[in-house]
Structure 1
Amino acid sequence: MAQRPSGYSGQGFSLRGEKGRYVLPPSFRKAIAPTEDDPRTLCLAKHDRWNCLVGFGLARTDTFEAQLDREEEAALRRDQDFDREMRATQLWTFSEIPFDASGRFILPDHLADLAALDAGICFLGGGQFFTLWDPDQLYAMSAGWEGQQAVCRKLADDAAAKAKRK
């Protein structure tokens, strides 16, 4: 059995294809399904604070209870309320999206609407999950996002140039 990666790193960009499909970057699809025996299932949910989606493989669900414990303990240390049921619902309310060996998948409309995703998606590694951004939503983020914004601009320009050559 292949060992699961400890996190998602890297980046990618996908324009929506002619059949309405996007392409999951190779590093992320290999992390989700490292062998042919692993299900090619992309889990997608709305990020709890940012206007983007989070993506991960089914194996991440094994860590949800520990994550809830950590978040609850941190809230208690800060003397803040923590609604464990609400947070659990946020974590467990994800859509399971199949993708093929080339990484192609169809983004459901309700998820696209939640994150204002349309013509292109910028994928950014983020450790236990990766994020899927509409470029304009990423460009609107405040200070601290400059590196990710620059990567997205470069990847979007490269994808547009490649599409023009076809």
Structure 2
Amino acid sequence: MKTASGDQRILCLDKHAKHPCLVGFGLSRAESFADQIAHEEAVALQRGEDFDPDMRAAQLYGFIRTSFDESGRFVLPDHLGEQAAIGDALYFHGGGSSFTIWSPEVLFEMGPGWDSAKATCRALMAEAAAKGKRK
């Protein structure tokens, strides 16, 4: 993540625009937002759909910047955690130029397209529980 933020320990976080989770990415991803908005607008026009570039820009550029330490730990702002119903557990799911952060309970309610992520999350939770019992 550090290399995706110009060698700074900066993590960008926001509520995901489509899913009930958070999204995280490096500062470099924001450099492509103008092109993304232009592409989405062109696609909407081809389909005869309405598109509000100002609203989309507000969605994309509304992220917060937070720092992380050498171990990758960061403080999740309460207002973001609330938007994604984050409780005591988190599941991080990689996804190319970004990653998502889920409340396991919310993830488990997602449709079958998320079965692999759900299975991984369950396995990691079982592993953490087993480690906790050994201590």
User: Which residue number corresponds to residue 128 of structure 1?
Assistant: 97
Number of aligned residue pairs: give it: 134
Question: TM-score under structure 2 normalisation?
Answer: 0.93
User: Which residue number corresponds to residue 54 of structure 2?
Assistant: 85
Q: How does 1:1-166 map to 2 (within 5 A)?
A: 32-34=1-3, 38-166=7-135
Q: Relative CO higher for 1 or 2, CA cutoff 8 Å, sep ≥ 6?
A: 1
RMSD over equivalenced CA pairs, Å: 1.5
Please identify runs of 4+ aligned residues in structure 1 that moved more than 3 A.
Answer: 163-166
Question: TM-score under structure 1 normalisation?
Answer: 0.76
Higher strand share: 1
Instruction: Output one character per residue of 1:74-109: Cα deviation in whole Å (capped at 9) or x when no partner.
Output: 111111000110010000011111110011111110
Alignment gaps of 5+ in structure 2 = none
- Structure 2 residue identity aligned to 1:75: A
Whole-Å Cα distance in 1 between the matches of residues 130 and 12 of structure 2?
30
Whole-Å Cα distance in 2 between the matches of residues 117 and 126 of structure 1?
19
Whole-Å Cα distance in 2 between the matches of residues 149 and 109 of structure 1?
24
Alignment gaps of 5+ in structure 1 = 1-31
Task: Among all aligned residue pairs of Structure 1 and Structure 2, give the percentage whose two residues are the same amino acid.
Answer: 50
Whole-Å Cα distance in 2 between the matches of residues 39 and 48 of structure 1?
25
- Structure 2 residue identity aligned to 1:48: A
Whole-Å Cα distance in 2 between the matches of residues 160 and 97 of structure 1?
29
Secondary structure at 2:100 match in 1: strand
